[in-house]
Structure 1
Amino acid sequence: MQALKEFQSQAQGLSDLLNYAALIDSGVVQNKDGSIMVGYFYRSNDITSSTEDERNYLTARINAALARLGNGFVTWHDAVRIPDNYYPSADKNYFPDPVSKLIDDERRKRFQSEDSHFVTEYVLVISYMPPLRASSKLNDMLWQEQEGVAKKSIADQVLEWFYKELVTFEDMVGNVITLQRMKSYQVTDDFGKQHLRDELFNYLGYCITNRVQEMNIPHYGAYLDVCLGAYPVINGDTPKIADNYICPIVIEGLPPESYPNILHVLEALPLAYRWSSRMIYLDQQEAVNELMKIKRKWKQKVRGFFSQIFKTQNGQINEDALLMSNDVDNALTDAQSGLVTYGFFTSVVVIIGQDYEELQENARFTIREIQRLGFQCRVETINALEAWLGTLPGHAIQNVRRPLIHTLNQADLIPLSSIWAGRAESPNPYLPPQSPPLMYALTNGGTPFRINLHVDDLGHTLIFGPTGAGKSVLLNMLDIQFLRYQHARIYSFDKGRASWGINQASGGKFFDIAGESSDLNFAPLSELDTTEDFMFAQNWLETLYQLQTETILTPEQKKQIVRALELLKTQPKSGRTLTAFNATVQDQAIRDAISHYTLSGTLGSLLDAEVDGLSGENSDSWWVAFEIESLMNLGEKNLLPVLLYLFRRIEKSLDGRPTLLVLDEAWLMLGHPVFREKIREWLKVLRKANCSVVMATQSLSDMYRSGLLDVLLESCPTKILLPNPEADKPGTDNLPGPQDFYVSMGLNETEIYMLKNATKKRDYYFMQPEGKRLFQLGLDKLTLSFAAINYKTDGLAIKRLMDEHGENWPYKWLDSKGVTYDKAS
């Protein structure tokens, strides 16, 4: 046998420093010191828009759950900021034209750029150290087992009790945060062999290596320390594990008082790190003992040495020591009340990276942000390795900070402000599974924000905001990004040609209804073959009569319209014109009213065509936009018949393909009773045809007085609000102000304050039942070159490029803007 002892080093390695022993149950790790621990992924509500009362309620509920913990319990609340460079790959999109692809490629490049976007994951680990065996024997002497029931081992009793405590904890916090227990799971390799893996084990590995990796559990679940600690460690002021430098930043110097989410900044910094908040809980009596030790120290300083020796009352009093002694008395009262539990709290931000200079720069930035909140902090040097070990779940004895705090303070200091980033996949059930969100945007700290207009199968959306706040650019981005879905179609009603540029660049059709150079006209009576078409034509003609005469048709007049349509139905489609109808109908009053819309009247050039201008290739475009400003100037009697017919054409085209119906300046349509009822109908029925109605308006007062506000708020679960400097301006009993409108939408004072102080043309406030968030579009040069086209300033130049270069004009437009691009994409 060879003598190998002299070659075996006695120095400790990383595995010797780790406390992990074995996986004893699904998601349950036993440590070397005898403690057991479980882990949770958790998320709280996004409290950015919460009121002070709502935040206080959250911390009160968390305190009530944590205050039940006592001796033997330790918790780690971790906020893990990790890079998120995901963006849907090109093969998951179905953009039908080069420009929409170019725009999405630019956004993909932005969101996939290295270390520029981050998301925060939240982890809670609860560890419990069972009592000594002597305590367990005493417990057995005091309590008798039920006869006929097999006596359980101490280990089984401890686990059973621990599980019950966890269930109680979950029930107490379940109404304010979402908990997902970490569990074990099976995987099958390429050879058909099954392996056991565990989410808690994987997370422990991440804490050590800063690398997301799924690892197999060793046979029998033991020797976890060896698996997790198989890396070289170099100790020092900046320890190094494998290729990663470690920089622990210890938060100390807690302020005199705390408030909910006082350290919320640490949940959204634009860099990768792990913020660990550990609490070692004490039983009431042990907490009282610790506090009494502190009190005695301060009590001794109230009077000088000689005053204490000679027991005189004339010596000078140390007022600071007296105040501190009184503070300890207050703490003793809190501890003995049972409403809070005291413990030792340690909060450390761990930054890990391979680039030493970048690591130090990130540390300096983090320290500045923490100090800005009024906290003292420092980079651990001599104690760096121990400080890092103390942040690892399961390590309760390293780097214990001496001052005691109670659980209500702890609830204020731990991460409880989860950023709501939207769903990673579209919730629209009519789309294929795992379809990407409609659009990626940005929110705090470079966190990607996923925009989905749908809540389940309902995608109707309201957009409100004053003029010049960025509504047109937002609508253009929603439109162009909606084309990512297969067979997607868009119908948009524009005012001021805000969508003209991006519509033309993406190969859409743009019609200026009743414009000076417009040759678009319609044949509303050309489709009479189905019962539904016939009924529409009848109702439409009745509406025309009502608009012209401001009276209701008599039953006999309605019969005359039906008879005329029946005769018209026998003619070829090109002969089913309004002029032909007027020549057929036998009622003079009807002829007089309809004549306004025939070639002999004012609107005949628009509504009395033989062939409908929306037939043929115009009906097959993926984006059809209608400019209605000229039509609006013609007055209500001319506007409504045209829009009613257009909406009928759109309704007929709905066949289940993803469709977006955008109504810009919707206040105009809400101002007429016919349209109010039509919109009410759309909001109820179009969802079944996979059509989402997006209504945008800058006139909050018209929306408020429309009589449809309750229906709109109920039927449109998605709302996007634009910045409004007058958001907090109240109104009167006769004239409601912006504040009244926002309150009617359910906004609280915090949200109204956010809208007031948000930046126009940059910030947008997104509201859904699932969450609320202030976001930015994050547009780069290429996208902005199309989404922000202003027809008044850019229209002539673009038309010139169209005449000179035809379909290639978008590339020449980018050249004129100095934007680089890859045409091959």
Structure 2
Amino acid sequence: MNAQTKYASEINKEAQLVNFIPYSSHLNDTTLTTIDGAMMRVFRVEGISFETRDNDELELAFERLNSLHKSLSENNLSLWVHGIRHRVPNSIEGEFDNVFSATFDKRYNRDFNDDVLINELYITAVQRAERGALSKKLSMNIEAVTSRIEAQLEAFDEIAHRIQTNLSSYVCRTLGVTHSGISEPLTLFNYLLTGQWQTVKKPIGEVRSALGNAWVRVAKETIELNCLGSSRYMQGIDIKEYCQQSSSGLWSAFLYAPYELILTQSMSFMTRKKGLGYLKARKRALANSGDGAITQIQAMNQAMNDLSDGQFAMGEYHFSLMVIADTVEKARQYRGMAEKALSDKDVTPAVIRLATDAAFFAQLPANWQYRPRVAGITSKNFAHFAPLFGFLVGKRDGNPWGYAVTRLKTPSGQPFYFNFHQSPQGVDSFGRKLVGNTIVIGMTGTGKTVALGLFLCQAQKYAQGDEFSTVFFDKDRGAEVAIRALGGRYFKVQNGQPTGFNPFQIEPTPQNLTFLKNFVKLLAHSPIKPLTEFDQQSISRAVDTVMGMPKELRAITTVMQNIAVGTSKEEIENSIKLRLRKWCRGGEFGWVFDNPTDELDFTVARNIGIDGTEFLDNDAVRTPISYYLLHRLNDVIDGRRLMYIMDEAWKWVNDDAFTEFVGDKQLTIRKKNGFGVFATQLPSSLLDSPQGAALVQSSPTQIFLPNPKMSSEKSYEEYTKGFGLTDREYHLLKGFGDTSRLCLIKQGGHSVVCSLAMPDMDDELAILSAGTDELPLFEQAIEEVGESPSDWIPVYLEKVRQAKAVKKQASL
């Protein structure tokens, strides 16, 4: 009886996936075996950021890949390289308890899609067992089989280590079984079979039974994958005829494609003997065909010589490109776009129609028998076809402080997740005290203040669950409006106006007493008459006496009154008391430190700003003020998350008070969970200063905005030798227009071009970067309605709009 179920005809159209999956087991956490005894290991590769690399660098990378491939050719090895472009959630989690920062976050992120297309690169190394090894194993006892497998694994481990070491500059990570039992390699293979990312646990039994939870229907051109109740559709392309000469980046257009895809390339390396045999057979075929041109035969002779000389290895190569869509019509549209992209590279694409299922299953590493259109190519060709190009994408989560600071747009369409800290991809670095120092270089009008304001606002998320402080050492009050909008405190130090500083109001701890004694010595310093031992003892006793008094009596005047003075005329004329008098109330600089109370407190608000515009140019007061500010900064270098920003950093750090700060203090700050952001207009401002140059060396993250003065030879030297930009990066940056809002971000030897443009955010920009036109309007708003941000922000913004309207009308 040949009875059939109701849906037998439909079931017969579907591929039984398990029969096409060659995998047997997880030999260990990182190694899989196939049913015919091959060993496999999978690597996740970030790739090299080719957009900003010099041609010389790309050529060197190509040569190194070729060398790696040659070294693998005698090991019965195959590589499967997968370039996967797929949609992922794009949002960055974070809560903002300040109204302005929450509003800003919402408006800024509305221009980012919830899902974006990103690129991922995977390499799978597969080493076939020796011919006949499987049948030999069947005749062995268990001990002999185990010994043979261990020897095979030891040899394979050496190959895998060689691959990972050679690809370290590409940021290469071995996939394995996670602490929660998830198999990362099987998760990848399951995506190739289902078109859906789902975690796959390491199974107890045969691994192929854990894969392929999709119904696969294969038609002439289309593959339908029905998984988790929804269908996705694939259509494929392979290559009928290759271009005459290969070059790196032939397939790079697919890194920007507006659709999901899987680009699969495999290379089964031939031994030199087998490669020579292949080339000789090709030469005979050309000669026997009667139409083999002399030049082709000569080229084949040259290829055999080059192979014998070890300039390359030969291998069997296959290529397939599967586009993925939610409808057949979209899949066909995307396939057409992919065909054009290949045709533009002088290759002849072919729609996969006859062996659609074979091309689909050949995406799985170790499925040699299903590979369509296998071609013999050199390892140089393969290094060109699979150059491991990628983009610097940053790190969305798993950073030292959690989620990324913010997202920035890039030319590829995928976001760049910006972080001050540099931490390894694929590794959860949360809580680690890594270096976060950052340099920002940008001329006036190119977006430097906006960038600093953006980072300041987006960093407010880090206050959730942890104590968090920012201290902004400002210039020209550029950040005042933003800091006040965040509910922060802003100190304006103006020459001749009481600062509100009184160092003797701090707590009399041993550390503070040491600081105060050194501080008084600094105020009493004279280059002509150095302090004597008696002077220093007098200062020490006076400070101890004053700091034992009630707080309201403690001041520089009180210290002066408690200083012992000698009786001779010379001692009186050069006394400490006389030197300190100018720093006391009524003296020339009494406005600086002799105030009734000390208003300087870096813990009074989460965000603190200090304007150094005037005092940084005042030689008489700059060093003592800087010395005091740096000491008070210690109040928030206590293990909390700390970000301090210095605009026109060279102005701050050039003072002698910062000598220790730019040295050993940076290590202390890092260990205490803090970092600094140092901004300036011109590279020379930092590089020509010993302290500034030291900060450059301690800052792994660098942000470069447009600079219209980049045409000189000196400028080239500053950017390339001073900051380490490559020639390609320099010329990219040089090409940025002043108002382009583009920037080049370099981190850990890799770089990316990003945009800081904020279209339709005029209100927010008026707060992030308030200039000389806006500051008077801000002051008017404060005077009219008070200092609560919820009150003055709408008033201020309305004043800015009106002022712009008047200015626009006047220009007509």
Match of 2:189 in 1: 204
Alpha-carbon distance change, 356 to 415 in structure 1, aligned in 2, over 3 angstroms: farther
**After superposition, what is the alpha-carbon deviation per residue over 1:216-241, rounded to whole angstroms, capped at 9, x for unaligned?**
6777417649x627514140333333
User: Which one of 38, 41, 44 corresponds to residue 42 of structure 1?
Assistant: 44
Alpha-carbon distance change, 688 to 244 in structure 1, aligned in 2, over 3 angstroms: closer
Match of 2:726 in 1: 748
Aligned pairs (5 A) from 1:636-655: 636-655=619-638
Q: Secondary structure at the match of 2:677?
A: strand
Aligned residue type for 1:85? P
Match of 1:441 in 2: 408
Match of 1:408 in 2: 380
User: Which one of 774, 780, 784 corresponds to residue 794 of structure 1?
Assistant: 774
> Quick check: 2:45–2:120 contact (8 Å CA) kept in 1?
no
The CA distance in 2 between the partners of 1:792 and 1:535, in whole Å, is 41
Alpha-carbon distance change, 738 to 55 in structure 1, aligned in 2, over 3 angstroms: closer
User: Which one of 672, 677, 682 corresponds to residue 689 of structure 1?
Assistant: 672
**After superposition, what is the alpha-carbon deviation per residue over 1:287-310, rounded to whole angstroms, capped at 9, x for unaligned?**
33443343234335777xxxxxxx
Match of 2:605 in 1: 621
The answer to whether the aligner puts 1:509 opposite 2:482 as a matched pair is: no
Q: Secondary structure at the match of 2:456?
A: helix
Aligned residue type for 1:539? N
How far did residue 648 of structure 1 move? 2.0
Aligned residue type for 2:158? T
Alpha-carbon distance change, 51 to 542 in structure 1, aligned in 2, over 3 angstroms: same
Match of 1:610 in 2: 596
**After superposition, what is the alpha-carbon deviation per residue over 1:225-268, rounded to whole angstroms, capped at 9, x for unaligned?**
9x627514140333333322212233565443334455344345
User: Which one of 581, 584, 607 corresponds to residue 595 of structure 1?
Assistant: 581
The CA distance in 2 between the partners of 1:722 and 1:560, in whole Å, is 52
Q: Secondary structure at the match of 2:372?
A: coil
How far did residue 458 of structure 1 move? 3.1
Q: Which moved more, 1:482-491 or 1:538-547?
A: 538-547
The CA distance in 2 between the partners of 1:769 and 1:638, in whole Å, is 39
Q: Secondary structure at the match of 2:582?
A: helix
Q: Cα RMSD over matched residues?
A: 3.9
Alpha-carbon distance change, 446 to 321 in structure 1, aligned in 2, over 3 angstroms: same
The CA distance in 1 between the partners of 2:255 and 2:200, in whole Å, is 27
The CA distance in 2 between the partners of 1:368 and 1:457, in whole Å, is 46
How far did residue 477 of structure 1 move? 2.0
Alpha-carbon distance change, 198 to 740 in structure 1, aligned in 2, over 3 angstroms: closer
**After superposition, what is the alpha-carbon deviation per residue over 1:178-204, rounded to whole angstroms, capped at 9, x for unaligned?**
5555546796xxxxxxxx864433322
How far did residue 469 of structure 1 move? 3.1
The answer to whether the aligner puts 1:470 opposite 2:447 as a matched pair is: yes
Structure 2: give runs of 5+ residues left out of the alignment: 423-432, 566-571, 802-812
Alpha-carbon distance change, 220 to 582 in structure 1, aligned in 2, over 3 angstroms: closer
How far did residue 47 of structure 1 move? 4.3
Aligned pairs (5 A) from 1:653-672: 653-672=636-655
Aligned residue type for 1:754? L
> Quick check: 2:194–2:213 contact (8 Å CA) kept in 1?
no
> Quick check: 2:176–2:185 contact (8 Å CA) kept in 1?
yes
> Quick check: 1:390–1:399 contact (8 Å CA) kept in 2?
yes
**After superposition, what is the alpha-carbon deviation per residue over 1:300-336, rounded to whole angstroms, capped at 9, x for unaligned?**
5777xxxxxxxxxxxxxxxx81212211212222334
> Quick check: 1:421–1:449 contact (8 Å CA) kept in 2?
yes
Match of 1:388 in 2: 360
Match of 1:458 in 2: 435
Aligned residue type for 1:322? I
The CA distance in 2 between the partners of 1:115 and 1:40, in whole Å, is 26
Q: Which moved more, 1:4-13 or 1:279-288?
A: 4-13
Q: Which moved more, 1:339-348 or 1:263-272?
A: 263-272
The CA distance in 2 between the partners of 1:360 and 1:202, in whole Å, is 27
Aligned residue type for 1:554? T
Match of 1:98 in 2: 99
Match of 1:238 in 2: 222
Match of 2:806 in 1: none
**After superposition, what is the alpha-carbon deviation per residue over 1:340-383, rounded to whole angstroms, capped at 9, x for unaligned?**
33233222222111134443444455455555555554544555
Alpha-carbon distance change, 474 to 353 in structure 1, aligned in 2, over 3 angstroms: same
Match of 2:20 in 1: 19
Match of 1:120 in 2: 120
How far did residue 620 of structure 1 move? 1.2
Q: Which moved more, 1:198-207 or 1:716-725?
A: 716-725
> Quick check: 2:406–2:458 contact (8 Å CA) kept in 1?
yes
The CA distance in 1 between the partners of 2:5 and 2:99, in whole Å, is 70
> Quick check: 1:525–1:537 contact (8 Å CA) kept in 2?
yes
> Quick check: 1:119–1:448 contact (8 Å CA) kept in 2?
no
How far did residue 557 of structure 1 move? 3.1
Q: Secondary structure at the match of 1:298?
A: helix
**After superposition, what is the alpha-carbon deviation per residue over 1:10-51, rounded to whole angstroms, capped at 9, x for unaligned?**
94531269522552343666667x474524023255343555
Q: Secondary structure at the match of 1:649?
A: helix
The CA distance in 2 between the partners of 1:384 and 1:378, in whole Å, is 12
How far did residue 410 of structure 1 move? 0.5
How far did residue 778 of structure 1 move? 6.2
The CA distance in 2 between the partners of 1:716 and 1:689, in whole Å, is 17
Aligned pairs (5 A) from 1:82-97: 82-90=86-94, 93=95, 95-97=96-98
Structure 1: give runs of 5+ residues left out of the alignment: 188-195, 304-319, 732-736, 819-825
The answer to whether the aligner puts 1:176 opposite 2:176 as a matched pair is: no
**After superposition, what is the alpha-carbon deviation per residue over 1:494-529, rounded to whole angstroms, capped at 9, x for unaligned?**
11222122212111112221179x764221233373
Aligned pairs (5 A) from 1:548-567: 552-567=530-545
Q: Which moved more, 1:230-239 or 1:159-168?
A: 159-168
Aligned pairs (5 A) from 1:739-818: 739-740=717-718, 742-758=720-736, 762-769=741-748, 771-777=750-756, 779=758, 781-782=760-761, 784-785=764-765, 788-802=768-782, 803-804=784-785, 806-808=788-790, 809-810=792-793
Match of 1:166 in 2: 156
**After superposition, what is the alpha-carbon deviation per residue over 1:59-111, rounded to whole angstroms, capped at 9, x for unaligned?**
44433443333696543100112223243434xx4x34111122333455555
Q: Secondary structure at the match of 1:600?
A: coil
Match of 1:281 in 2: 269
The CA distance in 1 between the partners of 2:174 and 2:468, in whole Å, is 39
How far did residue 689 of structure 1 move? 3.2
Alpha-carbon distance change, 766 to 218 in structure 1, aligned in 2, over 3 angstroms: closer
The CA distance in 2 between the partners of 1:751 and 1:223, in whole Å, is 46
How far did residue 608 of structure 1 move? 1.8
Alpha-carbon distance change, 114 to 536 in structure 1, aligned in 2, over 3 angstroms: closer
Match of 1:493 in 2: 473
> Quick check: 1:457–1:687 contact (8 Å CA) kept in 2?
yes
- TM-score, length of structure 2 as denominator length: 0.82
Q: Secondary structure at the match of 2:482?
A: helix
Alpha-carbon distance change, 515 to 297 in structure 1, aligned in 2, over 3 angstroms: same
Alpha-carbon distance change, 482 to 216 in structure 1, aligned in 2, over 3 angstroms: closer
Aligned residue type for 1:77? V
Aligned residue type for 2:663? R
Aligned residue type for 2:518? N
- TM-score, length of structure 1 as denominator length: 0.81
Match of 2:65 in 1: 62
